[in-house]
Amino acid sequence: MSATGDFCTVQPKNAPPEMEGIMRLLAANEADMKESPQQALSAAAAITVADTPRKSIHGRPISASDVRRLLVQQGFSKIKELVPSTTLQLLESKSP
């Protein structure tokens, strides 16, 4: 099978031989998408997005920048207020 067929719009007319495999793959993918885009969409898993409110301390949102700044300063007592205990343990274990 040649990747130079008219069915592949992403295929340059004079592709180098080393691109033959990727061109075949692109052509097959394009053909699949032309055949049944609706089938591909219906087969996809449903995705639910949940908007989680940002955690805050003393009315101020917790930011990763604050945690990084405290990490540089070795401010683990303050970091403890901002992150879960498992995160604190990881940060402490990685600290010099």
| pTM (predicted TM-score) | 0.45
Q: Could you tell me the residue ranges of all domains in the chain?
A: 1-48, 56-94
C-alpha–C-alpha distance, residues 23 and 7, integer Å: 11
Q: What is the pLDDT of residues 41-92, one digit of tens each?
A: 666 667 788 888 888 888 888 888 999 999 999 999 999 999 999 999 999 9
Q: Is the pLDDT of residue 2 over 60?
A: no
Total Cβ atoms within 10 A of residue 37:
10
What is the CA 67 to chain-centroid distance, rounded? Answer: 23
Q: Which amino acid is at 34?
A: K
Q: Could you tell me the pLDDT band of residue 6, with boundaries at 50, 70 and 90?
A: very low
Tell the residue number behind the tokens 């409110």, with chain if given: 53
Q: Could you tell me the pLDDT band of residue 32, with boundaries at 50, 70 and 90?
A: low
C-alpha–C-alpha distance, residues 52 and 48, integer Å: 12
